[in-house]
Amino acid sequence: MFIDKVRINVRGGNGGAGCMSFRREAHVPKGGPDGGDGGHGGNVIVQADASVSSLIEYRFKHHFKAERGTHGRGSRMHGAQGADLVLKVPVGTVVREYFEEEKETGELIADLTHDGERVTVARGGVGGRGNIHFVTSTRRAPAFAELGEPAQEGWIELEMKLMADAALVGMPSAGKSSLIAKMSAARPKIADYPFTTLVPNLGVATSGDLSFVVADVPGLIEGAHEGRGLGHEFLRHIERTALIVHVVDLTGDYEGRDPLEDYEVINRELALYAEELGRRPRIVVANKIDVPGTDEVCAQLAERVRADSIAAAGGNEFAPSPIDPKLYRISALTGKGVESLKAAIATKVHELREAARERAAAEVQYDHIWEHKREAREARFFVTQEGPGVFRVTGTRVERMVVQTDWENEEAVTFLQHRFKRLGVDDALRKAGALDGDEIRIVGRSFEYESPEGAVDVYQELDL
């Protein structure tokens, strides 16, 4: 079918460790620090690519990892950066957070609707800084360096959604499948009973040197927005198409239905499903003009479309309107009028695509938004009391700092204490009621708490 969904685990590359080293030269007895930085780990990036048509690649392989950064070395030599891992997905892929343990989908990370659009889903770890960075007026020979930062890791959900440029919508038996068959190489089933089409058909139509993807959606009926008929699920797909091509059956399906009434019903259903769908750019098509006796109703429909177009432009006849003022008269059976309809759709689709591309370039910066959200979340930390005199501090950034510290090295630990103080961890502990001598746990480490003015001493490594 048209929805394809996979869940994968992504992990950036860890940062390389910074180096602790001192210059050694024959004639210099004790050289200054010269330990280089570790290289940054690579990121995992999801990128929309027009040449990829499915998520099949992610069906069987679920773990993806970018390259790690290498360690820094002496003589100020920096480690190499790990390469990014770019996962290519079809245009129209929605990327979300996924929580594997809870089996729950989280926030939207990105909706990749354009070729080349990308988002970083797991950042590589920053390389640890070498000891040359930790020189201060009082610390001339820092005998420590930072370890590399562990990379981000997590599950994401990729969902591919049907991406057609134009969707043919209308009542059952309006001739939507007949029309897609005339416009493209698609060969859907065509029959004189309603709901012949059960799943959308896709076709590629070409007009001059422009081409577009058109979808033939199952017929909509009154109440479709609340689940009547088959239309509801497919209204969801229409949400993603730039242009709606509304096909009206001039014969009222030989059932004596009023085509004008049909036209209103479909407009209403679209608007009720999503207000925004009611304002989506639209082209109206009158089908079955080959059937005698349809001229009058066709003229009435043309008048209605013109009026709706003006209304949609805010009552100004000369302003651009999302509804094409022209009614396209065709016969999907004989092919009459189909070429000029195709040309109109192609032109409109290309206009809309250009506009969307500009919009995407101007405003949609998923990386920015997502990064920001994630950073805010990671900067948070929490203090919980685990028992009498025992507190635990949790939070991504705080925990990462602990992991990045070389615990064998006293200077490195002192440096960590300064960072904690700056972040407000000490204050938060005091507010939570920690007293001198209490035990503070962070990831697998344990500290003795001393009031913020004093120092925090490490006294043991917990075996958790």
* Binding footprint of ligand GTP on the chain (CB under 6 A): 172-178, 190-192, 194-197, 218-219, 287-288, 290-291, 331-333
End-to-end CA distance of the chain: 47
The entry of ligand GTP, Mg ion, none near residue 21 (CB within 5 to 8 angstroms by kind) is none
Q: Strand 457-461 to strand 4-11: parallel, antiparallel, or no bridges (unpaired)?
A: unpaired
How far apart CA 387 and CA 427 sit, in angstroms, is 19
Name which of 91, 241, 217, 90 is nearest 165 in CA terms: 241
Residue with Cβ nearer ligand GTP (255 or 457): 255
Residue with Cβ nearer Mg ion (94 or 169): 169
Residue with Cβ nearer ligand GTP (173 or 404): 173
Residue with Cβ nearer ligand GTP (106 or 194): 194
Residue 177 binds Mg ion (CB under 5 A): yes
Residue with Cβ nearer ligand GTP (129 or 288): 288
- Shortest CB 52 distance to ligand GTP, Å: 30
Residue with Cβ nearer ligand GTP (290 or 411): 290
Number of neighbours of residue 441 by Cβ within 10 angstroms: 17
Name which of 73, 71, 62 is nearest 38 in CA terms: 71
Residue 241 binds Mg ion (CB under 5 A): no
- Shortest CB 193 distance to ligand GTP, Å: 7
Residue 178 binds Mg ion (CB under 5 A): no
Name which of 140, 14, 131 is nearest 74 in CA terms: 131
Residue 9 binds Mg ion (CB under 5 A): no
How far apart CA 154 and CA 157 sit, in angstroms, is 10
Q: What angle do CA 307, 310, 313 make, to 5 degrees?
A: 150
- Shortest CB 282 distance to Mg ion, Å: 19
- Shortest CB 297 distance to ligand GTP, Å: 14
Length of the chain in residues, anyone? 464
Residue with Cβ nearer ligand GTP (174 or 301): 174
Name which of 141, 175, 336, 140 is nearest 246 in CA terms: 175
The entry of Mg ion, ligand GTP, none near residue 173 (CB within 5 to 8 angstroms by kind) is ligand GTP
The entry of Mg ion, ligand GTP, none near residue 287 (CB within 5 to 8 angstroms by kind) is ligand GTP
- Shortest CB 150 distance to ligand GTP, Å: 54
- Shortest CB 7 distance to ligand GTP, Å: 34
The entry of Mg ion, ligand GTP, none near residue 174 (CB within 5 to 8 angstroms by kind) is ligand GTP
DSSP states along 325-360: EEEEE--TTT-TTHHHHHHHHHHHHHHHHHHHHHHH
Strand (E) or helix (H) holding 423: helix 410-423
Helices 338-363 and 176-183, interaxial angle, to 10°? 90
- Shortest CB 347 distance to ligand GTP, Å: 23
Residue with Cβ nearer ligand GTP (130 or 231): 231
* 8 A C-beta contact, residue 14 and residue 41: yes
Residue with Cβ nearer Mg ion (18 or 219): 219
How far apart CA 432 and CA 382 sit, in angstroms, is 10
Residue with Cβ nearer ligand GTP (299 or 319): 299
**Per rule CB under 5 A, count of chain residues that contact Mg ion:** 3
How far apart CA 108 and CA 117 sit, in angstroms, is 15
Residue with Cβ nearer Mg ion (194 or 389): 194
- Shortest CB 221 distance to Mg ion, Å: 13
Give the C-alpha distances (Å, rounded to integers) separating 295 from 283, 286, 299, 341: 19, 10, 6, 19
* 8 A C-beta contact, residue 397 and residue 424: no
How far apart CA 114 and CA 90 sit, in angstroms, is 9
How far apart CA 417 and CA 382 sit, in angstroms, is 17
- Shortest CB 293 distance to ligand GTP, Å: 12
Q: List the x/- string, 186-225, binding to Mg ion by CB under 5 A.
A: ----------xx----------------------------
The entry of Mg ion, ligand GTP, none near residue 288 (CB within 5 to 8 angstroms by kind) is ligand GTP
- Shortest CB 205 distance to ligand GTP, Å: 16
- Shortest CB 214 distance to Mg ion, Å: 13
The entry of ligand GTP, Mg ion, none near residue 70 (CB within 5 to 8 angstroms by kind) is none
Residue 365 binds Mg ion (CB under 5 A): no
342: tokens are 């195709």
> Residue 192: what residue type?
D
Phi, psi of 128 (to 5 degrees): -70, 150
Give the C-alpha distances (Å, rounded to integers) separating 161 from 64, 96, 113, 186, 198: 22, 13, 10, 19, 17
Which stretches of the chain bind Mg ion, using CB under 5 A?
177, 196-197
